[in-house]
Every structure is written in structure tokens, then in C-alpha cells.
Amino acid sequence: MYWEKDVETMDRSALAVLQLRRLNETLKQAGRSAFYGKRFAAGADTPAQAGAAAGMPAQAGGKPAVASVELSDLEQLRELPFTKKDDLRNAFPYGFLTVDLEKVIRLHSSSGTTGNPTVVFHTPDDIDHWGNLIARCMYTTGVRKQDVFQNMMGYGLFTGGLGFHYGAEKLGVMTIPIGPGNSRRQIWFLKHLKTTVIHILPSYALRLYSFFEEMELDPREDLHLRIAFIGAEPHSEEIRKKIEELYGIKVYNSYGLSEMCGPGVAFECECQEGLHIWEDHFYPEIIDPASGRVLPDGERGELVLTTLTREAMPLIRYRTRDLTRFLPGECPCGRTHRRIDRITGRSDDMLIINGVNIFPIQIEKTLMAIPEIGHNYLIEIHKENFMDKLSVKVEISEEVFHGTLAELEKLQSKAAAALRAELGVTPNVKLVEPSSLPVSEGKARRVYDYRGGEEGGL
Ligand code: ADP
Ligand code: ZN
């Protein structure tokens, strides 16, 4: 049941001791980078740490050798400043690197969903820890050596492909490094290699299903599939259920971001009730995105993460911009690492429509609860006579909807009414043919915000 029982079920107080030790090692390591070296040496940034930088020996170039901060209590971490995505961008390429390049064996990059990419470096130990975390995640959901794993996430700079690849190999599972796309070939492999486990973008899992229909295959009958890991993009509980139903499998939510390593930061266990955040490797906090204040347990806010074992590029209080909350209570699985709720979006993807705050995931949740509605949708926002206009284009479901034009109009009104009830604003709903909306091989782009003049959005 457990990949590393001792650490996964570790008593919370022992876990706190481990975290504090690792946190102090991390702070020391971080001080070796140009960015944190300067920040710690400046001291002004770090109120908890008055005097920590004092007496630091300076190197020949005037650069501090190692400016370090030491905490005596985990709570003191709150007094250190945040690290933001912009800090990473501004320090491109090597400002956060703590080791000589000869120790670095890998570079990954975030997919750049919201701007320029950032680069993340890994030493052999970093790669090893990451692989181990993925093995832990996979094992948690019941994957074993006998399984056949088809990895449909992108290989390359994106962490989804190689991250899971190394983890699956560590676990000892035969891995098919097929990457995304080429749906007929995917299905051919699924069928003939008797694949049992897949890793796939939720938007692609839904799209892939239409190819089964075209090929007159039923994934429930004609495959040996039993588990899917989905992640990398926000998705609702409704989407998870839909994928479980269509394929007749168990679907687990996988969360991560390149800045921490990639996937493997938090993962659902067999109970499927929130994602265990692996607290022996990451120290999580939830903050109010506006004030930066740490929120009381259970309140929804922005997830802030500090790495506890990263060597090449430790990050202190990194603002993920992802919105979630800690779930209360203990998980029946026996793991002691806290669980976070499914990510409902990023703090910066909230849409403000005529003063009303809306998250795209609310639109998805509402649409997916209507059976006649298909899998793909798109949100557009325009400005009209100084007012924001929200439009939702959504595909109808080929399998469920066979109605007349009048019934189509009825469905349109039904969808608009459901959205109005959920959002508090009235969207313009446009039903479109199945498979007519654009699809991407990577993360789905759902929001097009034209209010800024040219193409804005996420
Ligand atoms: P980018 O920030 O450019 O998309 P990454 O490839 O590092 O770069 O993606 C990490 C981000 O993807 C996370 O910060 C989060 O917003 C999103 N993400 C990853 N996994 C999930 C998940 N399971 N649910 C919702 N969003 C996710
Ligand atoms: Zn659990």
C-alpha cells in the first residue's frame, strides 16, 4: 500500500522536525545562489533574521560566499519574503542556481501558460528525489511492476513526460514514452500492448474518446485500462467522473509545477478525497493572495511552496498562484501528509465581468453537469458599449443530442440559465458542432479575453 511507509505515515511532530532540519539545509543551500545570496545578505528583506548576514565573508568579486538564514521554528518562515515568478524571469538564466554547472544534468522549463517561460535546473539528486516522488504517487494508487504504463504527456521541456517517465522506471513499470497526440496510434498501443495505466491531460482524455467511437472500439470493453493520472491543467470533479465513466477506470488527480520539480508535488491516494502534498519534500502555506497573510487552516487561498530537498535550485516561499485549501481531518489511507483540495484556478485567471468575479472552472462544472453538452468549450470576453460581454461556446454531445432546432434552442436556454444561476451574470451561450472548437496538444486554452484590444487572455 505504501511506497515508503515510514515517511508517508510519519507522526506529524516527527515530520515537523524533519521539515525544520531540511528547511535550514535548504536556506543554506539557497544562499549559494546569486538571488538569495543577495537577498539574505541584504538582511532588510528578512526580519526574522536580523544579523543573520552579518559577518559573511565576501568573495573576491565582492559577492557574499554563502549568506544563510537559520530558523529555530517552522513558523518563522512566514517572516521571509516570497519568491515570485517574476523573480525567476528576472534572474534568467542562472540567478537561482546554487551549484556549478558541471553538477547540473537537466533543465526543464514551465510551459509558459501565462508569460515567458522560466528555467529550472536539476542535479542527479534532484532527479532522483523527483523520480522517487512519482514512484510514491503511482504506487499509492495501486500501480505495480506488472502494469503497462503509457505516458501521453509531452516529453521535452515540459515536465509531465520525463517526470513520470523516470518515476515509472523507478517503480519498475514498463513505460511506453509515446507523448501526446496521434490518437489512432495511441489507441493501437493501448489495445495491443494491453496498457493498464495512462498519464494524460484531462482535455486530451475527453478528445481521445471520440477516436474510439470513430474506430468502433469501446475502451470499457476492448482495453485493459484500469488507472489514469490526470493533471497539468485545472479540471472539475465532473470532468474526472466523466473520464472515469467513459473509460471504466479510476482517475487520480496529479498536481505539480516545474518550479518545484514538476508532477509529484501533490497526488490523490486511493481514497480520491483531496491530494496529499508531500510534506517531506515541500513545505506548504496558504495565503491571502491580496495581503500575503498566511490564512487559517481550511481557508481557500493561494498555495505557497518551499522546497525542502532541492539542490540545484531551492525556492523559498514560492507563490504558485494556484488556489486551493487544506482539507480538514485525517485521510483514511493512513498517510499523515496533509491534503489540499483540487485546484480551482490560478489567482490570476479570475475573470471580472462587470464587477462579478468568475473562475473558468465554475463554467466548466456547470456545463459538464448537462448531459447533452459535449466535452469542449471556450470562453470569450468582449467589451460592448463599455460593458463586459461574456460568451460561452460549447460543443453539443453527438451521443446524447439528436434533437430538432427547437430542442437545440431549448438546450441553449437551459445552459444559459444554469450558468446564470452559478455565476450571477448572464452569458451568451452558443452551441456548436461536436469537434468544431480548437484543440491543442498541450494544456487546453479555454479563455480568450478581447477586452484589452488585441488578443489578451491567459
Ligand atoms: P505553467 O505555469 O507555464 O503552466 P507548468 O507546466 O509548470 O507551467 O504548470 C504548472 C501549473 O499547471 C500549476 O501551477 C497549475 O496552475 C497547473 N496544474 C498542474 N497540475 C494541476 C492540477 N492537477 N489541477 C489544476 N491545475 C494544475
Ligand atoms: Zn490518503
Q: What is the pLDDT of residues 403-430, one digit of tens each?
A: 788 888 999 999 999 999 999 999 999 9
Mutate to test the pocket of ligand 1, among 257, 272, 321, 347 (most ligand atoms within 8 A of CB): 257
pLDDT of residue 57: 38
Percent of the chain with pLDDT over 70: 92
pLDDT of residue 440: 80
Which ligand ends up closest to the CA of 199?
Answer: 1
How many angstroms is it from 428 CA to the middle of ligand 1? 29
Nearest atom (ligand 1) to Cα of 320: 14
Closest CA to 118 of 85, 160, 96: 85
The amino acid at residue 420 is R
C-alpha cell at 287: 495565503
pLDDT of residue 42: 85
pLDDT of residue 415: 95
Whether the CB of 231 sits within 6 Å of ligand 1: yes
* Mean pLDDT over the full length of the chain: 91
Whether the CB of 232 sits within 6 Å of ligand 1: yes
pLDDT greater than 70 at residue 9: yes
pLDDT of residue 64: 45
How many angstroms is it from 115 CA to the middle of ligand 1? 13
The b/e string for 336-351 (b: 16+ C-beta within 10 A; e otherwise) is bbbbbebbbbbbebeb
Of all protein residues, whose CA lies closest to atom 24 belonging to ligand 1? 234
Q: Which residues surround ligand 2, an ion (CB under 5 A)?
A: 269, 271, 331, 333, 335
Nearest atom (ligand 1) to Cα of 321: 14
Q: How far is CA 239 from CA 148, 368, 372, in A?
A: 24, 7, 14
pLDDT greater than 50 at residue 49: no
Please return the burial class of 81, using the count of CB atoms within 10 Å of its CB with bins 0-12, 13-18 and 19+: middle
pLDDT of residue 158: 93
Whether the CB of 118 sits within 6 Å of ligand 1: no
CATH topology of domain 356-455: GMP Synthetase; Chain A, domain 3 (3.30.300)
pLDDT greater than 50 at residue 312: yes
User: Does 356-455 match 122-347 at the fold level?
Assistant: no
pLDDT greater than 80 at residue 258: yes
Domain ranges of the chain: 122-347, 356-455
Tell me how crowded residue 382 is: count the other CB atoms within 10 A of its CB. 14
pLDDT of residue 135: 98
Whether the CB of 81 sits within 6 Å of ligand 1: no
Of all protein residues, whose CA lies closest to atom 19 belonging to ligand 1? 232
pLDDT per position as a tens digit, 52-108:
443 333 343 444 445 678 999 999 999 999 999 999 999 999 999 999 999 999 999
Nearest atom (ligand 1) to Cα of 266: 23
Mutate to test the pocket of ligand 1, among 343, 344, 441 (most ligand atoms within 8 A of CB): 343
CATH of domain 122-347: 3.40.50.12780
Q: What residues are paired with 432 via a beta bridge?
A: 395
pLDDT of residue 50: 38
pLDDT greater than 80 at residue 452: no
Q: Does residue 256 or residue 65 have the better pLDDT?
A: 256
pLDDT of residue 399: 75
Tell me how crowded residue 438 is: count the other CB atoms within 10 A of its CB. 9
Nearest atom (ligand 1) to Cα of 262: 7
pLDDT of residue 66: 57
pLDDT greater than 60 at residue 45: no
Percent of the chain with pLDDT over 90: 81
Nearest atom (ligand 1) to Cα of 443: 4
Report the predicted TM-score, pTM, of the whole model to 2 decimal places. 0.89
User: If you average pLDDT over residues 44-50, what whole number do you get?
Assistant: 45
User: If you average pLDDT over residues 329-348, what whole number do you get?
Assistant: 95
Q: Given pLDDT bands bounded at 50, 70 and 90, which one contains residue 398?
A: confident
Which ligand ends up closest to the CA of 119?
Answer: 1
Q: How far is CA 441 from CA 92, 180, 364, 456, in A?
A: 27, 6, 19, 21
pLDDT greater than 70 at residue 280: yes
pLDDT of residue 284: 98
pLDDT of residue 47: 44
pLDDT greater than 90 at residue 169: yes
Whether the CB of 253 sits within 6 Å of ligand 1: yes
Closest CA to 232 of 189, 203, 275, 211: 203
How many angstroms is it from 57 CA to the middle of ligand 1? 40
pLDDT of residue 292: 97
Please return the burial class of 276, using the count of CB atoms within 10 Å of its CB with bins 0-12, 13-18 and 19+: buried
Q: Quick one: CA dihedral 65, 70, 74, 76, positive or negative? A: negative
pLDDT of residue 385: 84
pLDDT of residue 111: 62
Q: Given pLDDT bands bounded at 50, 70 and 90, which one contains residue 457?
A: very low
Q: Given pLDDT bands bounded at 50, 70 and 90, which one contains residue 347?
A: confident
Q: Given pLDDT bands bounded at 50, 70 and 90, which one contains residue 246?
A: very high
Q: Are 382 and 391 contacting, i.e. CB atoms less than 8 angstroms apart? A: yes
pLDDT greater than 70 at residue 51: no
Q: What is the dihedral of CA 149, 154, 158, 161, to 10 degrees?
A: 10
